[in-house]
Amino acid sequence: MTIAVLLKQVPDTTAKIAVSGGRVDQASVAKWSTSPYDEYALEYALQLKEAGAGDLVAITCGPDRAAKMLTDAAAVGVDSMLHVVADTTEMDSKQIQSILAAAIKHCGADVILCGKQAADTNSGSTGPGIASIIDAACVGMVSEVLVEGDSFSALRASSSGNERVSVSRPCLFAFDKASTELRRPNVKGIMMAKRKVIETVSAMDLGVDMGESQVIIESHDSPPEKPPGQKFEGVDSVQTVVLKLREEANVI
Amino acid sequence: MEITIIAETSGEGIHPVTEQLVGAASSLGGEITVLCPGGRGSDDASVISGVSKVISLQGDCFSSFDSGSWSTVMAPFSKGMVIASSSPTGRELGAQIASKIGVPIVQDVTGIEPDNKVTRSVYSGKVVETSSLPSPCVVTLRQNAFEGASGGGSAEVVVVDNSSEVSVSVREAIAKAGERMDVSDAEIVISGGRGMGDPSNFSHLNEVADVIGAAVGASRAAVDSWDEIPHSMQVGQTGKTVNPTLYIAVGISGAIQHLAGMRSSKYIVAINKDPDAPIFGVADYGIVATWEEALPVLKEELSKL
Ligand SMILES: Cc1cc2nc3c(=O)[nH]c(=O)nc-3n(C[C@H](O)[C@H](O)[C@H](O)COP(=O)(O)OP(=O)(O)OC[C@H]3O[C@@H](n4cnc5c(N)ncnc54)[C@H](O)[C@@H]3O)c2cc1C
Ligand SMILES: Nc1ncnc2c1ncn2[C@@H]1O[C@H](COP(=O)(O)O)[C@@H](O)[C@H]1O
C-alpha cells in the first residue's frame, strides 16, 4: 500500500515576479519553495503514513532545482522520492496530468494527496483531473484526513460550513489550508535525507506521450498600474463608492 | 459553436454567477445549453436571456457533491466550449469533465474573446496571462468579472434521469463555527483601528463583514489598546500580511507599518474622519467621514447588492 503526495516547486509567495520578453523571468526568482497548500498535503500524508496507511512517496514534475524540495520532504519523513524531470511552464492541464498520473501508477500509489491549487498556476485542475484519469474518488477543499480501518475520513469545506465524508481506496485529496502545525525537519532527519536517493525519470521513461500543448500562452504581462485613488467627502459618498466597487473594480 | 454551461447553484435555486456565465457565453455567440445538476435552478436558468436549452439532471448521485460521479453523468452532455464558475466546486467539476472528455481546462478566466483568447491572473495576481484555447475546451470564469445576462428568456427544459455510482459519502454536516475567517485567507478584509474608539464598536465591522463574507482585522494600536481584540487579527509588519481583493480600513491612520501588511491588496477603501490621514494616500476609494456615520450606510448599500 502506497501513499503519494504531489509537491510542486513554485516561486516563494514573497518573491518578486519579473516579466521579460512576454514571459515570467524564472531565472530572476530569488527563492523557490514548496507550493503552500502542498505543505498541508505533505503534513497529512505523513500522518497517514504514521497511522499505518502505507509507505509514502513524494512526487514532483519540474526542472533540476525541484530536487531540493524532495530532499526537504525526505527530511520530515517521506520514504521515497520520484522526480520527473521536465519543464512544466508551458504545459497544458492534460499534459501535466498525464505525466503525474503515470508517475502515480509507476509508484503503485492508491492514496494521493495534493494541493487545491498551485501558487504559480492558481488553477486547481491537477488533482481532480488525475482522479478522473486513475479512476479514484476525489475529495477537494480538504482540511483534514484520517485513516479509519480500510477507508478514509476527510473534512472538506461545503457551502454551509464543513462536512465529514468517507471514501475508500483509490482516492485523492486536494488540500486547502488546514489548522495543523507544519513540521520542521530536525538534524537527524536532514542527515537521513542526504543519504536517500531520488529516483529521477523522464516523461518518456514513464511511457507518456504528452504531445503538444493545446493551450498556447501568448504572453505574460505585469498587471496594469493602479489608477490614482479617488477621495470623497462625507457620508453621501458611501453609495458612490459601493457602486464603483461593483462597476469599476468588480470586487463585490 | 456549441456552448455548455454548468449552472452554479445555491440552495435549491440558481446562483447569480450563472447569469454572468451566460452573459460571457452570449458575447462569444453560439447555441447555449445549461446543465443543472440535481435539477436545481432549472426554471431560473430557462428564463435567462440567451439560453437555448436547459438540461435538468435528476440522478440520485446529485444529492451530495461528488465531482467524480457528477462529471460521469455530465461529460456526455458537455459539448463545445464548456463554461463553469471558478468556485471551488466549479473548478473541481470542470477539471473532471475536461479530463473525461479529453480536453484541456483553463481556470479562473477574467476575460474571453470570440477567438478563444483568454486572460487570467497567475502567480497570485502578480502576472496576467493571455492564452489561446483550442475548441473544444473547458474554462471556469471568475465571479463578477463578466456582465450578467438579463431575464426574459424562455428555453425548453429537458429532464434527464441518469445517475452514477457515488464514491464520496457525506457522513456529517458541520455548520460554520462562530469563529471568524482568518484575515490571511479572506478575499475581503475590513479592519478597524484606534479610531473605532472602543472594542465593542467592532460589532459594527462584524455586521458589515457578515454581509459580504469578509474577515475582520485590526491595526496594532487597536490590538495593543484593547484585550478584546486578539493579536491574530493584527494586520501589518508585526502582524499578518494580507492580499485580499478588497481591504477596507476604518479609523486607521495608515502608518507605514500597517501599510506593510496590506498595501498589496487589489483595492483599498479607507474611511477616516481626518482628510489628511496617510491611509488616503494608498486608498483607491477614500471616504472622509466618521465610522459612526459611514458604517450603517455601507452595510445598507452592500445588503442591496
Ligand atoms: C516596529 C513597529 C512595528 C509595528 N507594527 C505594526 C503592525 O503590524 N500593524 C499596525 O497596524 N501597526 C504597527 N505599528 C504601529 C504603527 O506605527 C501605528 O502606531 C498604528 O498602526 C496606528 O494604529 P491606528 O491607525 O489604528 O491608530 P491611530 O494612528 O491612532 O489612528 C486612528 C485614526 O482613526 C481616525 N479616527 C478617529 N476617530 C474616528 C472616527 N470616529 N471615524 C473615523 N475615523 C476616526 C483618526 O483620524 C486616525 O487617523 C508598528 C510600530 C512599530 C514601531
Ligand atoms: N508539476 C507538478 N509536480 C507535482 N505536483 C504538481 C505539479 N503541478 C501540480 N501539482 C499538484 O497539483 C496541485 C494543483 O495544481 P494546479 O492544478 O496547477 O493548481 C498542486 O498544489 C500540486 O499538489
- Closest-CA residue of A relative to B184 is A177
A97 lines ligand 2 (CB under 6 A): no
**Which cell goes with A227?**
489608477
A174/B145 CB distance under 8 A: no
- The pLDDT score that the predictor gives to residue B63 is 95
The mean pLDDT value for A194-214 works out to 96
Nearest CB among A120, A129, A153 relative to B98 is that of A129
Cα torsion through A29, A34, A38, A43, rounded to 10 = -160
Residues of B in contact with A132 (CB under 8 A): 68, 71, 95-96, 99-100
Give the Cα separation of B248 and B251 in Å (integer). Answer: 10
B88/A116 CB distance under 8 A: yes
| Model ipTM value | 0.84
Residues of A in contact with B298 (CB under 8 A): 238, 242
Task: Respond yes or no on whether the N-terminal peptide bond of residue A170 is cis (omega within 30° of 0).
Answer: yes
Residues of A in contact with B297 (CB under 8 A): 235, 238-239
Q: Which amino acid is at B66?
A: D
Nearest to A37 by CA among A173, A160, A226: A173
Cα torsion through A23, B143, A228, B197, rounded to 10 = -130
Task: Judge whether residue B263 has pLDDT over 90.
Answer: no
Give the Cα separation of B304 and A151 in Å (integer). Answer: 46
Q: What is the pLDDT of residues A30-86, one digit of tens each?
A: 999 999 999 999 999 999 999 999 999 999 999 999 999 999 999 999 999 999 999
Q: Helix (H, G, I), strand (E, B), or coil: what is residue B148?
A: coil
Angle at B201 between CA B253 and CA A237, to 5 degrees: 60
Residues 6 or more apart whose CB falls under 8 angstroms from that of A104 comprise: A4, A59, A112, A130, A134
| Helix B88-101 and helix A126-134, axial crossing angle in degrees, nearest 10 | 40
B95/A239 CB distance under 8 A: no
Closest C-alpha to ligand 1, atom 9? B236
Q: Are strands A55-62 and B267-272 parallel, antiparallel or unpaired?
A: unpaired
Best residue of B119, B204, B287, B295 to probe chain A, by most A CBs closer than 10 Å: B287
Q: What is the pLDDT of residues B82-134, one digit of tens each?
A: 999 999 999 999 999 999 999 999 999 999 999 999 999 999 888 999 999 99
SS (H, E, C) B224-290: HHCCCCCHHHEECCCCECCCCCEEEEECCCCCHHHHHHHCCCCEEEEEECCCCCHHHHCCCEEEECC
Average pLDDT, chain B: 94
Best residue of B67, B242, B280 to probe chain A, by most A CBs closer than 10 Å: B67
Best residue of A209, A235, A247 to probe chain B, by most B CBs closer than 10 Å: A235
Write the burial class of residue B240 (CB in 10 Å: 0-12 exposed, 13-18 middle, 19+ buried). Answer: middle
Q: How confident is the model at residue A228 (pLDDT cuts 50, 70, 90)?
A: confident
Q: Which residue has the cell 536532514?
A: A190
Can you tell me which atom of ligand 2 is nearest the CA of A5?
23
Q: What is the pLDDT of residues B10-45, one digit of tens each?
A: 889 999 899 999 999 999 999 999 999 999 999 999
Nearest to B261 by CA among B203, B213, B206, B193: B193
**Which cell goes with A70?**
524532495
Task: Respond yes or no on whether the N-terminal peptide bond of residue A224 is cis (omega within 30° of 0).
Answer: no
Give the Cα separation of B295 and B214 in Å (integer). Answer: 14
Q: Which amino acid is at B96?
A: Q
Do you know the residue count of chain A? Answer: 252
**Which residues have any ligand 1 atom within 6 Å of their CB?**
B 193-195, 219-222, 234, 236-239, 251-253, 255, 257-258, 261, 271-274, 277, 290-292
Ligand with minimal distance to A130 CA: 2
Pocket test for ligand 2, best of A60, A96, A123 (most atoms within 8 A of CB): A96
Task: Judge whether residue A160 has pLDDT over 70.
Answer: yes
Can you tell me which atom of ligand 1 is nearest the CA of B236?
8
Q: Helix (H, G, I), strand (E, B), or coil: what is residue A155?
A: strand
Q: What is the pLDDT of residues A74-88, one digit of tens each?
A: 999 999 999 999 999
Q: Helix (H, G, I), strand (E, B), or coil: what is residue A227?
A: coil
- The pLDDT score that the predictor gives to residue B179 is 62
**Which cell goes with B135?**
475548441
Nearest CB among B88, B122, B293 relative to A235 is that of B293
- The pLDDT score that the predictor gives to residue B178 is 54
Q: What is the pLDDT of residues B156-194, one digit of tens each?
A: 999 999 999 999 999 999 876 556 788 877 889 999 999
Closest C-alpha to ligand 1, atom 53? B257
Q: Which residue has the cell 452592500?
A: B302
The mean pLDDT value for A143-149 works out to 96
Ligand with minimal distance to B197 CA: 1
Size of interface A-B (CB pairs under 8 A): 254
Q: What is the pLDDT of residues A97-144, one digit of tens each?
A: 999 999 999 999 999 999 999 999 999 999 999 999 999 999 999 999
Average pLDDT, chain A: 95
Nearest CB among A19, A122, A239 relative to B121 is that of A122
For residue A174, how many C-alpha atoms fall within 13 Å in the half-sphere facing its CB? 26
Q: What is the pLDDT of residues A19-32, one digit of tens each?
A: 999 999 999 999 99
Contact A111, A169 (CB under 8 A): yes
- The pLDDT score that the predictor gives to residue A91 is 98
Nearest CB among A125, A133, A226 relative to B107 is that of A125
Give the Cα separation of A60 and A247 in Å (integer). Answer: 42
The mean pLDDT value for A187-191 works out to 95
Q: Helix (H, G, I), strand (E, B), or coil: what is residue A100?
A: helix
A199: which DSSP letter?
Answer: E
Contact B137, B103 (CB under 8 A): yes
Å from CA of B156 to ligand 2 middle:
40
Say how many C-beta atoms besides its own lie within 10 A of residue A106's C-beta. Answer: 19
A167/B132 CB distance under 8 A: no
User: Looking at CA atoms only, how far is residue B245 from chain A in angstroms?
Assistant: 6
